Structure 1
Amino acid sequence: MWHILDLILIEPIRIALLFVLEAAHRMTGSYGLALVILSIVFNLVLLPAYHAAERVQAREREIQRRMAPKIEEFDFAFKGQERYWMLRTLYRQHGYHPVYALRSLLPLAIQIPFFIATFGLLSHYAPLTGSGFLMLADLGMPDRLLGGVNVLPILMTGLNIAAAYLYTRGQPVREWVQSLVIAMIFLYFLYDSAAGLVLYWTINNLISVFKSLAYSSARPSFHSEVEKCS
């Protein structure tokens, strides 16, 4: 099953990543710059998908906001089967099903195949070995910039948390906690990874900060548009 998923989903992404990386290297002569370009290119390619995911998430939040007073009332007034049937009636009135809550995971679902493909490609990409970039002596090895400490994964995580904070401002606390957990998972998996791979995700997270700022500033009008369509 995994082999089939890898073949039809991950491998095409890996091939596209490699194509852009090698083209960028031929253009710049630097693997560090090529990784920066790779991150920018794929963020631009995925922008429509992220925008669509944001619309779906906004609709989910709006429905949850509308139902919240009644759910709180039901939690206080009803128990057991009675509460269950009252909730079912409420969900039917709003055209909602509890499984729709998974829509809030769409941005993560978009990232996962790209994370797997990028990890598989850049963790073992031989040309990165011995290639330096700015303060990074070897993009094929962990950065070890501060004694034995890898600084780049920590910077990557800081940017990830900043983007999550900006994106989830004014949203339920669970969304912030979910984003924080994801940031910690990325730190765990990437801390001892090749500096080139971490550089890619650091640029990715820097772009995410700017995207989160843009979404935050646009969110009031964006959500009013979603509310009209609901």
Structure 2
Amino acid sequence: MAPRRPGGSRLERLAWLACVLAGAGGATAAVAGDIELHSRSVEMTISGQGGLPLRWLACAGSCADPGSRRQDLVTPGDGALRWAADDPAQAAAMAARQYEARLRETADAIIVELVSAAAAGQPRLVQRYELSRTTHLLRLSLSALPGVRLEMSSGAALVPPRMPGFGAAFSDVEAVRVSVAGQENLGPAAGAATTTGAGREVWTGVRSRFWAWLLQPTVDSALTVQTPSDNRHLLAWELPAGQLELAVYGGPVEWKSLRVVSADLTELLFAALWEPLRWLCLALLFLLGFINSWVGSAGVAIVLLSLAVKFILYPATHVADRWQAEVNRAQSRLQPRLAEIRRQYRGEEAHRLTLQAYREEGVHPLYTFKSLAGFAIQVPMFIAAFDMLAGNFALDGVGFLWIADLAAPDRLAQLPFTLPFFGAHLNLLPFLMTAVSILSAVVQQEASLNATLQARQRRNLYLMALAFFLLFYTFPAGMVLYWTANNVWHLVKVLLLRR
């Protein structure tokens, strides 16, 4: 959609119409007042007074689609890109500058050039915006009076809804610096400030779980980061003399949207992980996307992803199961002798007899580490799958069965009270997940274990099911669904082995 200006005189509207009709031909028209720009994925209002955005809306997909996910970056009174200075009068003078806009369109971008009105003893200032028609990229060329800074203030709209318990880890907004080297968190503690550099190859700004708002200057500049309160950040760039060229990304933390603007921005994805684990996350992300494109349901895709991972890990789990069986057989042989030694002896004599029992049974004292090694083989895939599901933008706002949003707890029902840690909703999936785990523990029979060790193993499995219930209860439903499906496949395996 072409840019438009609300209201105005008939002459101004005719000038605007002439600009729209000229469009791709590259013609320009002068317009006074606030200017609205509409691209496919961005809606923006630029102030004719001050020359900076008054409103900035980013959409995943088309903003014309009422069902598209969207995020306010700048709104009146919440979130801002503004002028600042040590001298308040100087900042006020910048904010009060009146501009006339010249509008031009190309096949790829909507271009607005704002030229300030003449002021006594002050130079004319030019602010230029180039908004991509198809991506979330905005190119800025800004000029300011000496000593003036450009400030970015993140608003409450960027803060995700607060989840209870361990789910609160997904509800933060961070000040970050992103480059080819990865993501670095900049945010100081609430109420504190820090000064750093904003390099020409570096994107700096704020991000939440699913959205980012980042600036990349073309020259090195000093940057001050403040955190006035939790999840609210204020970043200030010192402007060099002359024009400051900036690239700005305001959009979803999603592979395609990031990649089309800059490969460096993809470092926002799964940024906390060690690089090999991060690449494993990306592989699972693409695999889930492929399955989802095939079945057309994100929930079913997660269930099938769990099955696919089972098949991928089968060689490793087969080795792990064999090692575990060897450990179980060794424990079954040793357990009666070790119990007798503990009952009759203490101290050095007990230690000597224990080592003697190991030697006579042909078992190394550290034999139990063999089962841990088998488990460790599977840990990287476990971590990667859960990080991928936690940070997968494609799950945000997507429902499945009774679940309204796979990126939040399933919230089957509202409770009439709020429980500490657990919150104010009944989440069904964690109960189903735990029930399947307990059922698996009940039916599982290890031929390599004697009755005493079998009972001990079952008790440990019950405790593990309880621990996972506490850990997962407040987690996003997509993560819990994956683990529930994983437990179901394990139960099926146990039942098949019993036949």
Q: TM-score range by the shorter chain?
A: 0.7 to 0.9
Q: CA-to-partner distance for each residue in 1:155-186, whole Å, 9 max, x for gaps?
A: 11111121223225654333222222222222
TM-aligned CA distance change 1:135 to 1:72, over 3 Å: closer
Does the CA-based 8 Å contact 2:441-2:461 persist in structure 1? Answer: yes
Q: Distance in 2 between matches of 1:4 and 1:154?
A: 29
Determine if the alignment matches structure 1 residue 120 to structure 2 residue 405.
no
Is contact 1:129–1:138 with CA below 8 Å preserved after alignment?
Answer: yes
For residues 73 and 130 of structure 1, the distance between their equivalents in structure 2, rounded to whole angstroms, comes to 59
Q: Distance in 1 between matches of 2:484 and 2:324?
A: 25
Is 1:139 paired with 2:406? yes
**Alpha-carbon distance in structure 2 between the residues aligned to 1:14 and 1:30:** 20
Q: Deviations over 1:90-127 (max 9, x none)?
A: 21122212321233445643443333222211112111
Which sections of structure 1, spanning at least 5 residues, go unmatched? 218-230
Q: 1:157 aligns with which of 421, 434, 441?
A: 434
What pairs with 1:90-101 in structure 2 (closer than 5 Å)? 90-101=357-368
SS in 1 for 2:440: helix
1:196 and 2:473 matched: no
Q: Distance in 2 between matches of 1:44 and 1:117?
A: 16
What is the distance in 2 between the residues matched to 1:129 and 1:187?
A: 23
For residues 159 and 108 of structure 1, what CA distance do their matches in structure 2 show? 20
1:38 maps to a residue whose letter is L
Output one character per residue of 1:16-69: Cα deviation in whole Å (capped at 9) or x when no partner: 211210110121222112111101100111223222222212111212222233
Q: Which residue of 2 aligns with 1:228?
A: none
Give CA-to-partner distance per residue, 1:71-108, whole Å, 9 cap, x none. 23433443322222222122112221232123344564
2-structure distance, mates of 1:164, 1:105: 19
Asked if 2 retains the 8 angstrom alpha-carbon contact of 1:164 and 1:212, the reply is no
Partner residue, 2:78: none
Q: Identify unmatched segments of 5+ residues in structure 2.
A: 1-270, 415-424
Alpha carbons 1:21, 1:34 under 8 Å: kept: yes
Aligned amino acid, residue 53 of structure 1: A
Question: In 1, Cα distance between the equivalents of 2:326 and 2:479?
Answer: 34
Q: Give the alignment of 1:16-95 within 5 angstroms.
A: 16-95=283-362
Instruction: Decide whether the 8 Å contact of 1:56 with 1:103 is kept in 2.
Output: yes
Residues 208 and 175 (structure 1), Cα distance of their counterparts in 2 relative to 1, 3 Å cut: same
Which protein has the larger Cα radius of gyration, Structure 1 or Structure 2? Answer: 2
Distance 1:108 1:145, change over 3 A: farther
User: Does the aligned pair in 2 maintain the 1:167–1:215 contact within 8 Å?
Assistant: no
Selected match of 1:6 from 240, 255, 274: 274
| Equivalent position SS for 2:368 | helix
Which protein has the bigger helix share? 1
C-alpha distance in 1, partners of 2:288/2:378? 18
Larger RCO: 1 or 2 (CA < 8 Å, sep 6+) = 1
Match of residue 419 from structure 2: none
Distance in 2, Cα, partners of 1:4 & 1:100: 34
Cα 1:138–1:5 shift into 2, 3 Å: closer
Q: Residue 355 of structure 2 contacts residue 365 of structure 2 at CA under 8 Å; is this kept in 1?
A: no
Residue 180 of structure 1: aligned partner: 462
* Contact 1:119–1:197 (8 Å) recurs in 2: yes
Q: 1:15 matched to which residue of 2? A: 282
Greater shift after overlay, 75-84 or 52-61? 75-84
Change in Cα spacing, 1:100 to 1:32, as seen in structure 2 (3 Å) is same
Question: Aligned letter for 2:441?
Answer: A
Runs of 4+ in structure 1 over 6 Å off: none
Please say if residues 168 and 176 of structure 1, whose CA atoms lie closer than 8 Å, have aligned partners that are also in contact: no
